[in-house]
Structure formats: structure tokens, C-alpha cells
Structure 1
Amino acid sequence: MRVTTRVAGAALVAALAATATGCGSPPWLDETVATPEATASAAPSPGRTFGDAATAPAVSESPEPVVNDLATGSAERELQAGAVTATVTYWSDLTMDRWTPAAVKPVSLSLSTTITPDDGQGVYLQRVSMTVVPDAGDALADQADASTEAPGYLVLSPYSYSQTFSIGAVSESATELTVQLRYEFLVQTTPTSDEYSKQTAVDTLTIALASAG
């Protein structure tokens, strides 16, 4: 019986030893097993080549066209003053190539009117004035023509009014003139009345100056 017990004990010890050997840690839990490191490297992006910055060409501004209301020799305007329609023609006996800053420059005008409704009442020009403003230098003194007889100059068609104003020397650096005109009318209230209503019309001319050279 003693021999049997020893043999059985030896067999049990051998079985336990075999079991312990088969139950070892798996490789991924064994710190002694090297685990390959995962390395990620960004794929190289294709290089971008930029050319030299192009310089935008400078934009050249076109010179503004020269305005000259008397370029064709004369100008005609139609002005409204209440019931009165005034037709005015402007011209100069001095050719445009001689309209230099230093020259004396004449401006002539002729005016006639109509009225609507036309009941036979008169239309009279009481006063006309002109202001000249060069684009360089000071404005010139106003010029005016006022009727010395009441109620004024009869200008209802077929009658008309004509006048010439002279523009004196302006700054040598001036290149154009702005000519402002003001017309003051007296309109008879009835054909036989001594009462009048006043109506005013204004106009502006732009006249280019020629180079003195």
C-alpha cells in the first residue's frame, strides 16, 4: 500500500508540472516579446511652384473731352420761364482759335419769346446779366443790360432783342470759361393791363480757351 501511494503521488506531481508549462502567458502579454511599433509618415505632397508675382499694368486714364458750346460757331437754346418760352442764339465774331486767356472775347446773343396761351399780352425783357467764371483764377465782374424804359424791351415774337458782351482777360492758366446768363421778363397780365408778372430764366455756356502759344 505504501508503494502504491508514492507512485500515485509522483504521477500527480508530474501532471501538475505539465499543466503549469502549457498555461504560459501568450506572446502579446509577455513584456519580453518585442512588438513592432506602428509608424505613420505623411505621404509627401507634391511641391507647388508659384511664379513670380505679376505686376498689373498701370491703367492710363483717357483725358476728358473738352466741352465747347461754341465749337461749331454758334449755339441755340430754348429756355422756359413760366408761360414764356425764350429762344436764344449765341455766337462770337472771334474765331475759337483766338479765344486765348489774354484776348478780349465777344459773346453775342439774340433772343425772342412766345407765350402760352397767347391772349395778346406783351412780354418784355427787363434785364439781362452775365457772369464769367474761369476754371482758374477769379471770376470777372458781372455785366448787365437793363432797360431804361418801363416795362422793358418788347421781345414777344416777331420782336427780338440782341446784345454783345465782351469777356476780358483771365488767368493764363485758365483752360475754359463758364458763362452764366440770367434773363428777367415782365409779362403783361392782360392785353390792356398796366400790371405785370415777373418771370426769370437762366442759362449756362461752357467755352474752351485756346492756348496762347
Structure 2
Amino acid sequence: MRRLDIRSSRLAAASVATGLAIVVLTGCGPSPWALQSPTPTVTEPAAVTPTEDVAPPVPNDLSSGSTERRITAGSVTARINYWSTLRMDLWTASALKPVSISMVTRVTPNDGQDVYLQKATMVAVPGNATESFPPLSPQVDESTLTSTPGYLVRNPYSYSQTFNVGQVPAEATFVTLQFTYDYLVQTTPTSKQFAKQTATDTVTVAIAQPAADDEPEETEETEG
């Protein structure tokens, strides 16, 4: 009887040990909170760096040294070349700025009638990106010939002249040159009657800005 009791005790102990092992294995599983979805991360938007306002480029029809135009007034077509003997970096607000022109014309239909330039006018209007300043005094070249009604400008004869742009406001970044040309055209090759035609053109030239090193420096006053 003692042997059976010992065997029964061993079986009971083995059963208890097996139960404990099951409990231990069960306790090793993932915790309930580990199965939950992670908290979403909020990403702050990247800070936008404000961009500095960039001034638009200043137009300059003489940036290459000269410019050629073809303008039409009625039956007259004029080919005009504009240039300056002063370098563009010297076209400052206070400088005397020369503008030269050379002109030749033709007539359509060409029956042999002549074309005369009676008057050429230039008006300089300074300005910048935000405002226009009062125009400078007009410069006029008007024919005073008595033998002809004006300057003969029919090809191959040409007209040349130089106008000057005076001082403009320091705030000006360009100057617009407004040209007006008054022509007299023979009605027939032998006629002493003339028809008047007027043409206009515009040339914009940049005003050179002083370098930063050229700006006056502020001086600090020291006590004696």
C-alpha cells in the first residue's frame, strides 16, 4: 500500500507542474496594449522662407550700342538708326546724354517724288517702375531752308542729327525718348504741292545707377 501512495503522489506532482508550465507559457504572450494601433505622429509643416522682391529688369533699347527701326507714315517708310557715343554705364542721371539718329526714306508707290523732313522733335520722359516724372523740354530740329520745303531724306539722301538728354531725377531708372517726324511728300515728281505725313517712334534707354561704394558714408560725431 505504501508503494501505491508514493506513485500517486508523483503523478499528482507531475500534474501540478504541467499546469504551472501552461500558466507560465500563457503569461509570455504579447500584452493587450502592445496590440493597439500606435498614436499617429503629427508632422509640423515646413516653414516657408519669404522670398525677396526682385526688381524687374530695366528696358534698354541701346543695350547693344544701337537699334534700328522701320516706321511708316502714309506712303512714306523710314529706316532710322539710333545710337549714343556715350557708353551705357555713363548714362547717369546727371550726365549730358547724347542720342544720334540717321534716317533714310522711300515712297510707295515710287513714282520718283521726293520726300522732305520738315521737322524732327525729341521729348525725353524720365521714369522708374512705379512712376513717371515730368518730361524735359522738347528738342526740335526744324528746317529753315528757303529753297526746299525741308531736308531731303529720300534714298539715297539721308538725315543725321544728335539730340541731348539733360539731367533727370536721381530716382529715374530709365528715360523714354519720344520722337516725332514731320514729312512733306511731293504729290507728283514735278509738282510743287506736298502732302504732310507724321511718324512717331519711341526709344527707351536705361539710366545707370551708382554703385554701392559710391554712396556717401554716414560719419559718426564724436564728443570733444
Aligned to 1:79: 71
| CA distance in structure 1 between the partners assigned to 2:48 and 2:168 by the alignment | 42
Aligned to 1:199: 197
What do residues 35-76 of structure 1 show as CA deviations (whole Å, max 9, x unaligned)? xxxxxxxxxxxx987654655443554431221111111111
| CA distance in structure 1 between the partners assigned to 2:203 and 2:90 by the alignment | 18
3-state DSSP class of the match of 2:189?
coil
Instruction: Structure 2: give runs of 5+ residues left out of the alignment.
Output: 1-38, 215-224
| CA distance in structure 2 between the partners assigned to 1:127 and 1:159 by the alignment | 16
Aligned to 1:138: 134
Q: What amino acid is aligned across from residue 123 of structure 2 in structure 1?
A: T
Which residue of the other structure, out of 83, 103, 113, is the alignment partner of 1:111? Answer: 103
| CA distance in structure 1 between the partners assigned to 2:136 and 2:92 by the alignment | 15
Aligned to 1:148: 144
Shift of 1:194: 1.0
Aligned to 2:85: 93
What do residues 75-112 of structure 1 show as CA deviations (whole Å, max 9, x unaligned)? 11001111111000011111111110000000000000
Aligned to 2:217: none
Which residue of the other structure, out of 181, 185, 196, is the alignment partner of 2:183? Answer: 185
| CA distance in structure 2 between the partners assigned to 1:169 and 1:57 by the alignment | 41
Q: What amino acid is aligned across from residue 194 of structure 2 in structure 1?
A: Y
| CA distance in structure 1 between the partners assigned to 2:101 and 2:57 by the alignment | 26
| CA distance in structure 2 between the partners assigned to 1:54 and 1:165 by the alignment | 57
Which residue of the other structure, out of 123, 126, 134, is the alignment partner of 2:115? Answer: 123
User: Any conservation in 1 of the 2:76–2:106 contact (CA below 8 Å)?
Assistant: yes
Shift of 1:204: 0.4
Q: How many residues align?
A: 170
After TM superposition, the structure 1 stretch with the greater mean CA deviation from structure 2, 53-62 or 70-79, is: 53-62
| CA distance in structure 1 between the partners assigned to 2:58 and 2:197 by the alignment | 33
Matches within 5 A, 1:1-40: none
Instruction: Structure 1: give runs of 5+ residues left out of the alignment.
Output: 1-46
Q: What amino acid is aligned across from residue 117 of structure 1 in structure 2?
A: P
3-state DSSP class of the match of 2:208?
coil
3-state DSSP class of the match of 2:136?
coil
| CA distance in structure 2 between the partners assigned to 1:57 and 1:105 by the alignment | 42
CA RMSD of aligned residues (A): 2.0
Aligned to 2:163: 165
Q: TM-score, normalised by structure 1?
A: 0.73
Shift of 1:165: 0.6
3-state DSSP class of the match of 1:129?
strand
User: Any conservation in 1 of the 2:58–2:173 contact (CA below 8 Å)?
Assistant: no
| CA distance in structure 2 between the partners assigned to 1:51 and 1:92 by the alignment | 60
| CA distance in structure 2 between the partners assigned to 1:115 and 1:166 by the alignment | 30
The reply on whether 1:67 has 2:59 as its aligned counterpart is yes
